[in-house]
């Protein structure tokens, strides 16, 4: 690395100090200095002045001692190492990003909950055990580590380890020191060294040319110039990058030799400044990273806000901060989608693989989506929009311009002579190792222009054969002094010599006196010269490089065969020649590039050409590609035959398209450039430097554009690094550009970018669908804790089951949405604005308050039905938490039966399992409706086979959790009868049909409001929405809640607006409940009549002597079902208890039931109960007769002692055994039954026969 020192200036003879990056006190000021344009005067100075400035001698060079001092003072001639992100940085990003940190907090809270379970939940009376916290913490930790390692692997395998600049530095250099020529390591080159350079090498530093012989360098990677630049000692331009007497570090030398003086080394060379810029620039956060951060902030805000609210509520209700902390933890964890990080990683990985198939290699996963967010593409010309290969475009002869594909005139004399001359006057040759390949694929040794002519003439005129038949006898090479090239050939057909001259057409024309036409040779008069020049200008204005040709048939008598031509003395004529025509060449646009750019325009994306090429050439290519379609000031100047500088300013201001050059950019401030970008719809930037490209990118970013930059050269690397997404060329791109970029085009084709944009937009849409799907389960996961804390109900869903949903059943369906195909109009809509977030108000509203609420109703419906089947109606569950969770307390159900802790916990686990299964069914319907936002499911179809498979997997997982003993132990679940497993089907159908109706209304434009409120509208109004919901809920339910807790009801006069909101919210809530209940009504059934024996758990012959109508009411469904109990016969003095609905609870034979029933026609009232513990049946029943006597029977039974009973009537005791029908056999058939009976009727309804739907 260079030392912190100052360097001598070349801008002054007084030896003032050159500006250096070491002057800066901070990294920012150093970077700003590197962004400035290069200002140096080395190219203006004479050799004598350079000797004074650099204290050297142009003949003998530096002394060894002085060179050693300079090396110690300035440091070695090396470039700053350019590396991408380290493996540790990538690993840290994937393991400790925003999202990961939130999950780490959740895992830590769970571990704290596990270790403090005895304090937080003594005796296990809470809604979940310490093991739940441990399982949840371990799974979240495994999720973070697993996805982190997966993301690290995906990004690390595309990481380039080597610095691209290292390959640009030559290992050794020839220098002259103390008059002796030496070969030294290139790192030892210092300021003032005299270096010698030859073709095939690399320029060792920034060098001012002192002498040169046909010396050419390839500066395309630095300036974008596609043609090799021929250098000479004279200054030709004020811009140091364009003058011919300067060569720059790292540029390949194509041919010739030169001697020069080193004027800059290491990081102060042009390439070193670019390396410093690339290394120092900090990339902006990608759009998807911003969206994920925004999403995390919303989720964390919602989670912690609700958690804190319920912490306060529970604290004031229960006066226990430990219990409040437990509820807060449950609310927070229910809101954090633990499986979403897995889904995001997998989705972007899948999309990256899809892009790779389309020749776009994403180096980072987040770059995949960034391309879809792009609103402005700053594209390099050479190699990206064009083929990076010069091709013949037009031929000019006989005062006519012919297209290269027009072969109708090949037989014309002027055309054929021009083709022959162009075939012969060539230095370029086909490489021998590729001569067997097709002409288009052969490698050519020579410059770009001659290679283009040779390839074209070989295809159309067989140039190789013509050159063999007419060998070259003499040649005057091209020189910048006279700007032409001459060859003399011995012609086989005429056995004479043929002279051909080529060069710049306006130069060649000056050596001619006649012009070849179909009518013969015509003298060149002023009118003919004007017409010829007008054609040259026309070709030049098309952005083409024009080469003119003239010839002379040497007379055989003056130049007989064997004549000795002397090119130094020029013993042959080079004046009074015949002008035969011209050939123009251009680096043509890529195939179908115009179509690709038109697609970008249709998608609302600006395409800006930024090139180092000449403005006229840039404008011509822009027109052919379609980046400029409107007139510019250049077109006006061409039409009026005036210079651009002569175009009046008021005329320039009328155009909506412009070509802005580097010289104009130097005079512009940031505000000036912003004004130009806003004013002109179409812009092309020409003759730009690397610093100016960076300036352009930063300005577009300041205008809130998401900028993509394409490039292949070293000069593009700062802009590639700074862009939101840098795209390098995989074939022609330099190592430096590939290192600085985020994505590599493997085929160098701009059309691949368009495919990448479409894929990126599809990714964003699918990510939005994935997040919408994932968030909907938050509502059914969070609201159970609300009911548990505020209404004192048994917990409907445990933390461990929440985890099963988040990282189990939901995971594969969420990932499968990444395989969804794009919407039909995805490339017809403008790029999303920065304010159009991944998670916006509408998505939150849909997920939490529409789909999420329906899922919650589905779960609560299943929850209440399962409890009702065991005799616990909703009214008996409210505010029963304290006694319910106490192992020592007994709880009575709606029928007045006492339940022990173990038995009621078993029922609770079955209800929690039903809630979980209902949530799974609702999520299946949710993933189906998330497939498309507009297109009908009937049209879209279920062609996403990954999604179809994921639905099957989700249901299989639900079955495993419900029915496998291992899952019962781990997840605290209980098996369900088959009918309870499908309780959520009405809601499943309701969600699909409702969303299909929504899409139908949107497609047919029935309601713009529906579209805005269910998909499109942005995030604005989220705060007001939450405020409205909270206000409405509090206003509707808070007084009743306070009355229950405090025993008082506060009243106030509500304002009309709040009242209206309250009424509206209440109506919507009631309507939603009513729709859910109406859809679910056919699924609400009890177990009496018509189901006498499903699943082997049917009723047996025990019932009251007199059939009585029984009213069966369930809170979730405001419909009273009246079911007639089947009549059976009484037996002796005892009436056997009816087992109306028995079903297995535990593999061990144990059960408990009780019920009461009355017959209004006779006045009989009967209560009965029975338990089975440790193989012994204990039972009793009593019957109140109309005369007031009470008959009570107490009995026991087992397999050893048989059946024994004691009968009591109105206090009288009969100790002798009574023959009563023993239920032992029945019990053996149906082990562990639980009787579910209807409650005693509070009112009488007419009895109906059979089941209501039977």
pLDDT digits (tens, 9 = 90+) for 520-529: 899 999 999 9
CA gap 501, 510 in Å, rounded: 12
**909 pLDDT higher than 60:** yes
State which of 248-257, 350-359, 1159-1168, 1196-1205 shows the largest mean pLDDT: 248-257
pLDDT at residue number 730: 83
CA gap 245, 227 in Å, rounded: 16
pLDDT interval class at 988 (50, 70, 90): very high
Q: What is the mean pLDDT of residues 149-168?
A: 60
Closest listed residue to residue 497, CA positions, set 486, 505, 508:
486
The answer for residues whose C-beta is within 8 angstroms of residue 50's C-beta and 6 or more apart is: 10, 42, 56, 58, 208, 261, 263
Q: What is the mean pLDDT of residues 422-439?
A: 89
- The better pLDDT of the pair 1035, 376 is held by 376
pLDDT at residue number 171: 80
Token duo for residue 211: 């002498």
Contact predicate 1125/1087, CB 8 Å = no
Contact predicate 1237/1140, CB 8 Å = yes
pLDDT at residue number 542: 82
pLDDT at residue number 858: 94
CA gap 962, 965 in Å, rounded: 9
Contact predicate 259/196, CB 8 Å = yes
pLDDT at residue number 927: 93
**420 pLDDT higher than 80:** yes
CA gap 701, 283 in Å, rounded: 12
CA gap 779, 15 in Å, rounded: 75
**1018 pLDDT higher than 90:** no
Mean pLDDT of the chain: 76
- The better pLDDT of the pair 1088, 1236 is held by 1236
**657 pLDDT higher than 70:** yes
The answer for residues whose C-beta is within 8 angstroms of residue 137's C-beta and 6 or more apart is: 107, 108, 110, 111, 113, 114
- The better pLDDT of the pair 751, 63 is held by 63
Contact predicate 107/161, CB 8 Å = no
| Residue 252 DSSP one-character state | B
Query: Hey, which residues does 255 pair with through a beta bridge?
Result: 216
Residue owning tokens 């036409």 = 517
> Is residue 490 within a helix (H) or strand (E), and if so which, with residue range?
strand 484-491
pLDDT interval class at 1096 (50, 70, 90): very low
pLDDT at residue number 189: 93
Token duo for residue 528: 């003919």
**Cα–Cα separations (whole angstroms), residue 661 to 329, 611, 625, 682, 1106:** 61, 9, 19, 14, 103
**Cα–Cα separations (whole angstroms), residue 1110 to 529, 875, 1152, 1184:** 115, 18, 21, 18
Burial level of 850, CB count in 10 A (0-12/13-18/19+)?
buried
Closest listed residue to residue 451, CA positions, set 418, 429, 433, 434:
429
pLDDT at residue number 842: 79
CA gap 719, 710 in Å, rounded: 9
pTM comes to 0.65
Closest listed residue to residue 286, CA positions, set 722, 672, 905, 752:
722
- The better pLDDT of the pair 91, 1246 is held by 91
pLDDT interval class at 1232 (50, 70, 90): very low
**33 pLDDT higher than 90:** no
Contact predicate 836/1012, CB 8 Å = no
pLDDT at residue number 1200: 61
Burial level of 267, CB count in 10 A (0-12/13-18/19+)?
buried
The distance from CA 197 to its chain's CA centroid, rounded to whole angstroms, is 48
- The better pLDDT of the pair 239, 1201 is held by 239
pLDDT interval class at 32 (50, 70, 90): low
Residue owning tokens 């059943």 = 809
- The better pLDDT of the pair 57, 1111 is held by 57
Mean pLDDT is lowest, of 146-155, 537-546, 1245-1254, for 1245-1254
**561 pLDDT higher than 70:** yes
CA gap 474, 489 in Å, rounded: 7
Burial level of 935, CB count in 10 A (0-12/13-18/19+)?
middle
pLDDT at residue number 1022: 34
The distance from CA 611 to its chain's CA centroid, rounded to whole angstroms, is 29
CA gap 1121, 1111 in Å, rounded: 6
Contact predicate 711/720, CB 8 Å = yes
Torsional sign, CA 850, 852, 858, 864: negative
pLDDT at residue number 36: 64
CA gap 610, 674 in Å, rounded: 16
Contact predicate 500/467, CB 8 Å = no
**128 pLDDT higher than 70:** no
Q: What is the mean pLDDT of residues 8-35?
A: 43
CA gap 194, 261 in Å, rounded: 5
Helices (H), 116-211: 117-120, 130-156
- The better pLDDT of the pair 200, 121 is held by 200
Q: What is the mean pLDDT of residues 579-587?
A: 92
pLDDT over 90, % of the chain = 26
CA gap 166, 1174 in Å, rounded: 83
Mean pLDDT is lowest, of 447-451, 838-842, 1249-1253, for 1249-1253
> Is residue 577 within a helix (H) or strand (E), and if so which, with residue range?
strand 577-586
Q: What is the mean pLDDT of residues 1074-1078?
A: 46
**734 pLDDT higher than 80:** no
How open is the CA angle 586-587-592, to the nearest 5 degrees? 115
pLDDT at residue number 101: 80
| Phi, psi dihedral angles at 978 (to 5 degrees) | -60, -35
pLDDT over 70, % of the chain = 74
The angle that helices 852-869 and 901-929 make with each other, rounded to 10 degrees, is 150
| Residue 386 DSSP one-character state | B
Token duo for residue 130: 């310490």
Contact predicate 1193/1170, CB 8 Å = no
Mean pLDDT is lowest, of 295-304, 826-835, 1233-1242, for 1233-1242
Contact predicate 399/389, CB 8 Å = no
Mean pLDDT is lowest, of 665-669, 775-779, 1123-1127, for 1123-1127
pLDDT at residue number 753: 86
pLDDT at residue number 1164: 57
pLDDT interval class at 7 (50, 70, 90): very low
| Residue 1108 DSSP one-character state | -
Mean pLDDT is lowest, of 233-237, 317-321, 791-795, for 317-321
pLDDT interval class at 824 (50, 70, 90): confident
**Cα–Cα separations (whole angstroms), residue 477 to 360, 487, 499, 568, 655:** 44, 8, 14, 11, 45
pLDDT at residue number 316: 79
The answer for residues whose C-beta is within 8 angstroms of residue 1037's C-beta and 6 or more apart is: none
pLDDT interval class at 1087 (50, 70, 90): very low
Q: Which residues are catalytic?
A: 380
**Cα–Cα separations (whole angstroms), residue 1031 to 260, 391, 841, 846, 1065:** 81, 72, 18, 19, 10
What radius of gyration, in Å, describes the C-alpha atoms of the chain? 44
Torsional sign, CA 687, 689, 695, 698: positive
CA gap 1188, 462 in Å, rounded: 126
Per residue in 380-409, pLDDT (tens digit) is 887 788 887 889 999 999 999 999 888 888
Q: What is the mean pLDDT of residues 79-84?
A: 61
Contact predicate 774/339, CB 8 Å = yes
Per residue in 851-905, pLDDT (tens digit) is 899 999 999 999 999 999 999 999 889 888 888 888 888 998 888 889 999 999 9
Contact predicate 99/292, CB 8 Å = yes
**1205 pLDDT higher than 50:** yes
């Amino acid at each position: 690395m260079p030392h912190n020192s100052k360097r001598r200036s070349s801008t002054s003879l007084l030896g003032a100090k050159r500006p250096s990056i070491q002057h800066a006190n901070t990294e920012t000021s150093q970077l700003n200095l590197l962004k400035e344009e290069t200002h140096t005067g080395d190219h203006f100075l004479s050799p004598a002045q350079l000797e004074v400035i650099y204290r050297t001698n142009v003949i003998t060079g530096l002394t060894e001692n002085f060179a050693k001092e300079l090396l110690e003072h300035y440091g070695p001639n090396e470039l700053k190492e350019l590396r991408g992100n380290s493996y540790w940085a990538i690993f840290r990003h994937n393991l400790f990003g925003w999202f990961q940190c939130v999950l780490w907090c959740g895992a830590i809270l769970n571990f704290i909950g596990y270790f403090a379970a005895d304090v937080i939940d003594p005796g296990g009376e809470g809604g979940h055990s310490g093991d739940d916290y441990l399982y949840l913490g371990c799974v979240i930790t495994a999720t973070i580590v697993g996805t982190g390692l997966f993301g690290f692997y995906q990004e690390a395998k595309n990481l380039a380890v080597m610095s691209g600049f290292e390959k640009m530095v030559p290992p050794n250099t020839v220098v002259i020191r103390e008059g002796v020529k030496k070969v030294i390591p290139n790192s030892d080159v210092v300021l003032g060294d005299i270096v010698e350079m030859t073709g095939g090498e690399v320029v060792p530093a920034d060098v001012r040319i002192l002498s040169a012989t046909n010396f050419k360098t390839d500066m395309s990677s630095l300036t974008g110039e596609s043609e090799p630049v021929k250098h000479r000692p004279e200054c030709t331009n004020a811009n140091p990058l364009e003058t011919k007497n300067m060569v720059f570090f790292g540029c390949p030398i194509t041919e010739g030799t030169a001697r020069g003086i080193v004027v800059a080394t290491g990081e102060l060379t042009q390439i070193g400044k670019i390396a410093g810029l690339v290394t120092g620039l900090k990339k902006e956060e990608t759009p998807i990273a911003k969206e994920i951060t925004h999403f995390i902030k919303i989720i964390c805000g919602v989670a912690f806000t609700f958690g804190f609210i319920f912490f306060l509520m529970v604290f004031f209700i229960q006066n226990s901060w430990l219990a409040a902390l437990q509820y807060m933890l449950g609310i927070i964890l229910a809101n954090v989608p633990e499986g979403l990080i897995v889904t995001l990683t997998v989705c972007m990985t899948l999309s990256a693989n899809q892009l790779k198939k389309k020749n776009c290699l994403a180096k980072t996963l987040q770059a995949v989506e960034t391309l879809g967010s792009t609103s402005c593409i700053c594209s390099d010309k050479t190699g990206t929009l064009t083929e990076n290969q010069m091709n013949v475009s037009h031929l000019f002869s006989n005062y006519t311009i012919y297209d290269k594909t027009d072969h109708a005139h090949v037989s014309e004399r002027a055309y054929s002579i021009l083709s022959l001359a162009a075939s012969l006057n060539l230095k370029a040759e086909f490489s021998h190792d590729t001569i067997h390949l097709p002409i288009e694929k052969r490698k050519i040794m020579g410059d770009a222009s001659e290679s283009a002519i040779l390839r074209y003439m070989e295809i159309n005129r067989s140039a190789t054969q013509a050159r063999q038949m007419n060998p070259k006898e003499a040649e005057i090479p091209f020189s910048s002094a006279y700007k032409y090239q001459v060859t003399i050939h011995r012609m086989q057909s005429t056995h004479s010599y043929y002279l051909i001259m080529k060069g710049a057409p306006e130069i060649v024309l000056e050596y001619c006196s006649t012009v070849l036409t179909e009518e013969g040779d015509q003298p060149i008069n002023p009118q003919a010269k004007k017409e010829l020049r007008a054609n040259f200008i026309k070709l030049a204005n098309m952005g083409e490089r024009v080469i003119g040709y003239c010839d002379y048939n040497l007379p055989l008598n003056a130049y007989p065969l064997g004549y000795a031509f002397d090119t130094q003395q020029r013993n042959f004529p080079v004046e009074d020649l015949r002008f035969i025509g011209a050939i123009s060449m251009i680096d043509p646009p890529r195939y179908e590039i115009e179509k690709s750019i038109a697609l970008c325009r249709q998608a609302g994306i600006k395409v800006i050409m930024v090139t180092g090429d000449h403005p006229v050439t840039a404008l011509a290519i822009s027109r052919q590609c379609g980046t400029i379609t409107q007139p510019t000031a250049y077109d006006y100047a061409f039409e009026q035959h005036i210079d651009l500088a002569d175009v009046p300013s008021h005329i320039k201001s009328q155009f909506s398209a412009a070509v802005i050059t580097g010289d104009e950019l130097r005079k512009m401030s940031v505000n000036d450039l912003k004004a130009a970008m806003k004013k002109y719809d179409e812009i092309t930037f020409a003759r730009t430097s690397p610093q100016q490209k960076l300036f352009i990118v930063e300005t577009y970013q300041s205008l809130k554009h998401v900028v993509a930059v394409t490039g292949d050269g070293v000069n593009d690397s700062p802009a590639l690094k700074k862009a939101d997404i840098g795209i390098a060329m995989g074939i022609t791109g330099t190592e430096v550009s590939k290192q600085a970029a985020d994505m590599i085009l493997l085929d160098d084709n701009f059309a691949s970018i368009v495919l990448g944009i479409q894929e990126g937009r599809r990714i964003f849409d699918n990510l939005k669908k994935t997040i919408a799907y994932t968030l909907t389960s938050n509502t059914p996961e969070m609201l159970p804790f609300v009911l548990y804390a505020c209404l004192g109900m048994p917990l409907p869903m445990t933390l461990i089951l929440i985890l099963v949903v988040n990282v189990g059943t939901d995971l594969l369906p969420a990932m499968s949405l990444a395989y969804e195909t794009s919407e039909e109009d995805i490339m017809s809509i403008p790029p999303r604005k920065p304010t159009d977030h991944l998670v916006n108000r509408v998505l939150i509203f849909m997920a939490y308050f529409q789909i999420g609420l329906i899922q919650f109703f589905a779960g609560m419906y299943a929850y209440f039905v399962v409890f009702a089947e065991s005799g616990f109606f909703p009214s008996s569950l409210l505010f029963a938490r304290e006694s319910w969770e106490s192992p020592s307390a007994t709880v009575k159900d709606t029928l007045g039966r006492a339940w022990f802790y173990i038995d009621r916990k078993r029922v609770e686990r079955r209800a929690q399992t039903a809630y979980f299964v209902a949530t799974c069914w609702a999520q299946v319907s949710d993933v189906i409706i998330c497939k498309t936002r507009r297109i009908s499911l009937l049209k879209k179809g279920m062609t996403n086979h990954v999604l179809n498979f994921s639905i099957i997997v989700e249901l299989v997982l639900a079955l495993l959790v419900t029915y496998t003993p291992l899952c019962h132990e781990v997840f605290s679940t209980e098996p369900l009868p088959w009918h309870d497993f499908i309780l959520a089907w009405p809601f499943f159908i309701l969600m699909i049909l409702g969303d299909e109706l929504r899409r139908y209304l949107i497609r047919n434009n029935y309601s713009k409001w529906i579209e805005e409120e269910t998909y499109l509208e942005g995030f604005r109004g989220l705060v007001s929405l939450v405020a409205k919901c909270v206000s409405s809920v509090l206003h509707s339910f808070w007084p009743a809640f306070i009355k229950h807790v405090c025993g008082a009801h506060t009243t106030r006069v509500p304002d009309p607006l709040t009242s209206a909101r309250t009424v509206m919210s209440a109506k919507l809530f009631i309507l939603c409940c009513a729709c859910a209940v109406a859809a679910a009504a056919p699924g609400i059934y009890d177990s009496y009549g018509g189901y006498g024996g499903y699943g082997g758990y049917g009723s047996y012959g025990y019932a009251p002597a007199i059939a009585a109508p029984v009213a069966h009411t369930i809170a979730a469904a405001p419909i009273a079902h009246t079911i007639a109990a089947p009549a059976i016969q009484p037996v002796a003095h005892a009436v056997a208890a009816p087992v109306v609905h028995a079903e297995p609870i535990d593999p061990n034979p144990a059960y408990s039931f009780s019920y009461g029933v009355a017959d209004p026609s006779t006045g009989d009232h009967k209560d009965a109960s029975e338990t089975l513990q440790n193989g012994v049946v204990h039972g009793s029943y009593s019957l109140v007769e109309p005369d007031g006597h009470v008959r009570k029977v107490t009995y026991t039974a087992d397999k050893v002692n048989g059946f024994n009973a004691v009968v009591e009537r109105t206090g009288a005791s009969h100790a002798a055994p009574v023959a009563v029908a023993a239920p032992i056999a029945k019990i053996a058939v149906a082990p562990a039954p639980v009787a579910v009976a209807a409650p005693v009727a509070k009112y009488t309804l007419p009895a109906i026969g059979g089941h209501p739907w039977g």
